[in-house]
Structure 1
């Protein structure tokens, strides 16, 4: 089979760099594998990892995918013009968007907000005058692993709602207020979904695997107890959990009715090194060679497309094609130019291109205004990213 490099290079040979592509065969294969791993549990698509409406539509047309997990309320209102089930995955303080939601009965039926405190409810209530229908809300349960009487916190710092008692207290505050309707619970186990089993440091990998063995059963027991207790106060429509990196264990929890995923569609570099699945790189970007500083070296224009999270080499873009190139430790990926070293460098001429994989998924779309969708060795469609549609939410 012809290499991905050869296909995307031929498909885009007349397009100046920087150019970003999505290999549709890889995208569709990843979607099929996510659905296989979910084993019948619906997958809510995490829009932050896609940030392109054409790709969101493409995956939501597939069996096994239903609903959007949005990352901002303004984005949710925009997507809800076309999609009937949009959950905002994070608490919002977007006052203008809150007022727009409260004034539109269609949006009130389609959009669900995330809450993790009475203070969050108070903010919403103080922002809106009145609502024709109650505001749909989802309770965000902290899924981290806490040890030694909560002195050790392992996992993302998200919701303050951790115990069954915390969750019941917040659920009761929602149930007692006619402005709100509690319809869901979310618990994102980032310490399982977001950590590769085999990172570059073997000792870290050992610690990660041990963390997962402890965390998975603890969360399943606690999440189940929370869902059962809240079920006495509200009729829950959904219980959301997990991410690309934890689908198998998340769907094995009987309290979970849907799983979230998005990064697995595009397969960024941070998702290399998991034991339970292998993804096909689907999103890549090319930069042009503009210098040859010396033997075994080339420089490309741009490249400092750094992923969010803790600063480190794993947040840098990864040179993918041609094989055998690497970033220089002394310079990394630069704002306007990036030097590369390797055996392939001497065969590259000025104007040739080097293809990279971004460390994370959706953040690539914050750098480009369009994606070239490649089928085989042909660009079959050019579609705008959020940025290309003039939308930069976060």
Structure 2
């Protein structure tokens, strides 16, 4: 088991390794990253893990993870990104599933003009409208076959469908709907049905032991147990119904927070995960695993306006999702700092208060963890790679390579 250093030791290691650099800066701890990758593979119990690139957003890190046994392919978050990751003389992967439907005509033109790209990239669809979007760019006789994956809604529905627990994704929820869409795909010239995806966000992306909220934890665990039981039967029925229409290459499910549970579903052939590699704060509250923070960023102290208070430059690096304190970046080193409720993370400066401010002077740095994994990389051009106690170089983020996929 990896020994977790004290907050003081962790801060000293980060400060010493980056002493020659000026913040703002971000670090990826390769030792922690590798430990987290190994833990994900162990939790997957033999199922291959498709890396969710939205949670990484750095080609060098994607390459490092995909070189490890247990990882295979990428779950991309846009078609343009998938084309970039699978293209060129040295592709990051030759197997990318785009996890969300696309109507990006420019990216579709690039896909449909390249037979090799069409063989490497699989589009997700949940209605005939997504097939129409492809055909509108290039009809079947003028393009290579397009690989598609059916996106099946994995949310929990109760009270006759009046209660919806989970994210709003696909309109395809039951086996009959899935089979009908599969028949539509198979009947359309120029499309190949390759797989099924069902992402149980209410299990994979919801903390079941949120810090300081024991009653919420109990409620979440009860809901998740019910959802896992319901989905296991429904997903198996969906897969059987679709496989009766056309053979399937893969069935994808799960996420960082649900690997053990999803791996136990015999209808699933591969898992997806990404956030567990960097271990952002939204993944601190799970009972089944404890990941090691592998991505942090530092901001410089620019003011000390009052005893017990310092101000750092910038800091408004909040995460997507429902507004709340859990979406804000958290100061972690030195220990004993907190955001001010009246200001939060600011556009140009962020005040911090607490006993940790006592030892800080103008020019010192404060280390933060982001709430979501890959979104950190939208704020920096490079990740400084930390190996042991020293930096081993810097690797560009998507932003650093001039890419913004939305």
Both structures adopt the same fold (TM-score exceeding 0.5): yes
Shift of 1:165: 0.8
Equivalent position SS for 1:383? strand
Query: 1:1-394 residue pairs with structure 2 within 5 A?
Result: 3-81=9-87, 82=91, 83-130=93-140, 131-199=142-210, 200-394=212-406
Unaligned stretches of 5+ in structure 1?
none
In the TM superposition, structure 1's runs of 4+ consecutive aligned residues that sit over 3 Å from their partners are 129-132
In the TM superposition, what is the alpha-carbon distance from 1:232 to its structure 2 partner? 1.1
**2: CA distance, partners of 1:8 / 1:24:** 13
CA distance in 2, matches of 1:370, 1:183: 36
Structure 2: how far apart are the matches of 1:366 and 1:158? Answer: 24
Q: Matched residues in 2 for 1:54 and 1:264: separation?
A: 17
1:132 Cα deviation from its structure 2 partner: 4.2
The Cα of 1:180 is off from its aligned counterpart by: 0.6
The RMSD of aligned alpha carbons is 1.0
Q: Distance in 2 between matches of 1:33 and 1:202?
A: 26
The answer to which of 202-211 and 84-93 deviates more is: 202-211
- Deviation of 1:129 (Å): 3.6
In 2, the alpha carbon distance for the partners of 1:278 and 1:104 equals 43
For 1:113 and 1:10, locate their aligned partners in 2 and report how far apart those are by CA, in whole Å: 45
How far residue 111 of structure 1 moved from its aligned partner, in angstroms, is 0.2
Cα distance in 1 for residues equivalent to 2:325 and 2:356: 21
- 1:267 Cα deviation (Å)? 0.2
Shift of 1:7: 1.5
CA distance in 2 between counterparts of 1:387 and 1:144 reads 33
- Pick which of 373-382 and 238-247 moved more: 373-382
Q: Is the 8 A contact 1:80 1:110 kept in 2?
A: yes
Structure-1 separation of matches of 2:120 and 2:74: 11
* Inter-partner Cα distance in structure 2 for 1:132 and 1:313: 48
Question: How far apart in 2 are the matches of 1:89 and 1:230?
Answer: 19
Q: Is the 8 A contact 1:7 1:376 kept in 2?
A: no
